Chain A
Amino acid sequence: MKLVDHFRIPSVSSRSYKVWQRNKDVFMKDIKLNFLPPFLEPILYLIALGFGLGKFVESIDGVPYAKFIAPALIAVSVMYASFFECSYSSYVRMYYQKTFDAIIATPLTIEDVIAGELMWGATRSMINATVMIPVIALFGLIDMKYSLLIIPFAFLGGLLFAAIGMCFTAVTPNIMSINYPVLLFITPMFLFSGTFFPLSALPVPIQYFAIAFLPLTHIVNVIRLLSFGVLSTSILFDVAWVLVVTAILLVLSINLMKKRLVV
């Protein structure tokens, strides 16, 4: 496959909805268990880091520490939900369960299947954000003014990390090797994207690196501004960055998966 072929727009039909629906049905079977992490995790983090560690931390730009990290917790959850859904879980469906093979024997194409998987990954991110917003609001750490905008933005951010996860799924030689991107990409992002301390605490070149190459930086920025009830023009830059990179990676991930599966 030539390089340009990796970026050719794939033809995806509305039938990809059936794949989304399949994953949703599986999710609904364990709905209680699936809703627990986004409900419990922010509580645990806010108590331990926000109120525990936060006691020893000065306010950041006039914002108490718990309020500073609360939106980052949503952003991290957006990243984890869709990345893991479209890496480990998609890999299991593709390789071990042969679910994709079964589906492409029907009128659906492989492009439809991957598109459905990506949409579902993004939906998981959105579900997590939707559950977390009221929990964080209970702690009084979110300004409700623009907070509901976080929900659609979580879907967009979810698509971004779904596409990233799917690209790795397409090239990984086995399921264990997905640990590499987790360790070398996802975990550093969790720590160095302005999540638990502001980017400005880092050396300037690293700040630029984070803005250019760490997608979570932009997700954190947007969700933080929305949850503070602030709409500044800098949001436009972050949203534009996310839109462009997401579009490119969605196309790339579908083409890479096609390359892997069509033999």
Chain B
Amino acid sequence: MFGFLGPNGAGKTTTMRMIQCVSPVSGGSLDVLGMDVASRQREIKSQMGVVPQENNLDGDFTVYENLLVYSRYFDIPKDEAERRVEELLDFVHLQEKKDVMTESLSGGMKRRLVLARALINRPRLLILDEPTVGLDPQARHLIWEKLRSLKKQGVTIVLTSHYLDEVEKLCDRLVVMDNGKILVEGSPAGVIEEFIGSNIIEAENNPQLLECLRERDANYEIIGDMVHIYPDNAMELSEYLLMECSLTKISARPATLEDVFLKLTGRSLRE
């Protein structure tokens, strides 16, 4: 499972659309499943499943019909398609909703149906553009569980997300990108270790603390009224800060991808 991270406008969706053979590749070359996107898009698309950022279920059809009509675009024979639709409805727990029109589904159900639809052709490659955006925790966890089981079945999954905990949990490798360029590449743990270290100490910003930190030659960053300290040895440093600088409000926690993300792409708002 591979993750693309980056702020809004970084080029994630554009990259996804190029992989899907929808947007033209303006420079260089792009191979998907060993095939060139410019010349073999039908073959590529027949082996790929897509969960787009925006739900684009067919509002003119029921849940069941959505899957069956979609299967026709892949030339799946009808009896085989019917079997797969039943399987997929079980897989995403929508069997009870099969005759419901899609507009009356909840957000989580729609997302699950989009996932089921992306699996109708048994893809080797699954593209997910922010698969859990706007979902409640239950629905997110269900989607994650399904993605893990697909991964186990050997499906390659490419994912973009703003939920960094999601990427950290699911992805084996990731890139962080901004302005169409890749900033880092690696495993979640590797990237965190490389850019932040394993732990972070958060403390309230005051001159005394900064004095202490300068004395210790520590690596830190001021964020509003907070200070993020990136220590080599968290235990030792926090002990020092507590004892020597008589600070009371500090907390040490494991570093996350979110820290890497903000460090690399800055804290200014993106549109």
Closest chain-A Cβ to B76's Cβ sits at a distance in Å of 10
* CB pair A107 B56 closer than 8 Å: no
Chain A positions 20-44 with a Cβ under 8 Å from a chain B Cβ: 21-22, 25-26, 29
Chain B positions 60-75 with a Cβ under 8 Å from a chain A Cβ: 60-61, 65, 69-70, 72-75
Chain B positions 118-151 with a Cβ under 8 Å from a chain A Cβ: 121
Selected from B23, B43, B56, B121, the residue in CB contact (under 8 A) with A98 is B56
Closest chain-A Cβ to B26's Cβ sits at a distance in Å of 11
Number of A-B residue pairs with CB-CB distance less than 8 Å in the complex they form: 60
* CB pair B60 A109 closer than 8 Å: no
* CB closest chain-B residue, reference A108: B73
For the complex, give the distance between the alpha carbons of A263 and B23 in Å: 6
Q: Of residues B54, B56, B60, which shows the largest number of chain A Cβ atoms within 10 Å of its Cβ?
A: B60
* CB pair B56 A97 closer than 8 Å: yes
Which chain B residues border A21 with CB–CB below 8 Å? 72
* CB pair A97 B73 closer than 8 Å: no
Selected from A98, A99, A105, the residue in CB contact (under 8 A) with B22 is A105
Closest chain-B Cβ to A10's Cβ sits at a distance in Å of 14
> In terms of DSSP, what is the predominant structure of the interface of chain A?
loop
* CB pair A106 B23 closer than 8 Å: no
Closest chain-A Cβ to B129's Cβ sits at a distance in Å of 11
Does B181 interact with chain A (Cβ within 8 Å)? no
Closest chain-A Cβ to B4's Cβ sits at a distance in Å of 17
Selected from B45, B56, B75, the residue in CB contact (under 8 A) with A99 is B56
Interface size class on chain A is 20 to 34
Selected from A26, A107, A262, the residue in CB contact (under 8 A) with B60 is A26
With A106-B70, A107-B73: A97-B42 Cβ-Cβ less than 8 Å = no
Closest chain-B Cβ to A21's Cβ sits at a distance in Å of 7
Which chain A residues border B56 with CB–CB below 8 Å? 97-99, 101-102
* CB closest chain-A residue, reference B17: A263
Does B41 interact with chain A (Cβ within 8 Å)? yes
* CB closest chain-A residue, reference B121: A106
Does A63 interact with chain B (Cβ within 8 Å)? no
For the complex, give the distance between the alpha carbons of A3 and B255 in Å: 56
Which chain B residues border A99 with CB–CB below 8 Å? 56, 58
With A25-B69, A262-B22: A102-B46 Cβ-Cβ less than 8 Å = no
With A26-B61, A98-B56: A107-B42 Cβ-Cβ less than 8 Å = yes
* CB pair A107 B45 closer than 8 Å: yes
Chain B positions 1-40 with a Cβ under 8 Å from a chain A Cβ: 20, 22-24
For the complex, give the distance between the alpha carbons of A109 and B42 in Å: 8
Which chain B residues border A25 with CB–CB below 8 Å? 61, 65, 69
Q: Mark B62-106, 1 if CB is under 8 A from A, else 0.
A: 000100011011110000000000000000000000000000000
* CB pair B20 A105 closer than 8 Å: yes
* CB pair A262 B46 closer than 8 Å: no
Does A6 interact with chain B (Cβ within 8 Å)? no
Which chain B residues border A106 with CB–CB below 8 Å? 45-46, 70, 73-74, 121
Which chain B residues border A236 with CB–CB below 8 Å? none
* CB pair B61 A105 closer than 8 Å: no
Which chain B residues border A108 with CB–CB below 8 Å? 73
Which chain B residues border A98 with CB–CB below 8 Å? 54, 56
Does A47 interact with chain B (Cβ within 8 Å)? no
Which chain A residues border B65 with CB–CB below 8 Å? 25
* CB pair A109 B58 closer than 8 Å: no
* CB closest chain-A residue, reference B120: A106
* CB closest chain-A residue, reference B117: A102
For the complex, give the distance between the alpha carbons of A108 and B44 in Å: 11
Which chain A residues border B52 with CB–CB below 8 Å? 101-102, 105
Which chain B residues border A13 with CB–CB below 8 Å? 42
Does B57 interact with chain A (Cβ within 8 Å)? yes
* CB pair B72 A262 closer than 8 Å: no
Closest chain-B Cβ to A85's Cβ sits at a distance in Å of 14
Does B59 interact with chain A (Cβ within 8 Å)? yes
Chain A positions 86-121 with a Cβ under 8 Å from a chain B Cβ: 97-99, 101-109
* CB closest chain-A residue, reference B118: A105
For the complex, give the distance between the alpha carbons of A105 and B51 in Å: 9
Closest chain-A Cβ to B268's Cβ sits at a distance in Å of 27
Does B50 interact with chain A (Cβ within 8 Å)? yes
Known: A98-B56, A106-B70, A107-B46. 7 other contacts (CB 8 A): A15-B73, A21-B72, A97-B60, A98-B54, A102-B56, A105-B50, A262-B22
Sampled A-B contacts (5; CB under 8 Å): A18-B73, A101-B54, A102-B56, A105-B48, A107-B75
Per CB-CB distance, the 3 closest pairs between chain A and chain B, nearest first, are A98-B56, A106-B73, A105-B50
- Chain A contacts to B: CB under 8 angstroms: 13, 15, 18, 21-22, 25-26, 29, 97-99, 101-109, 262-263
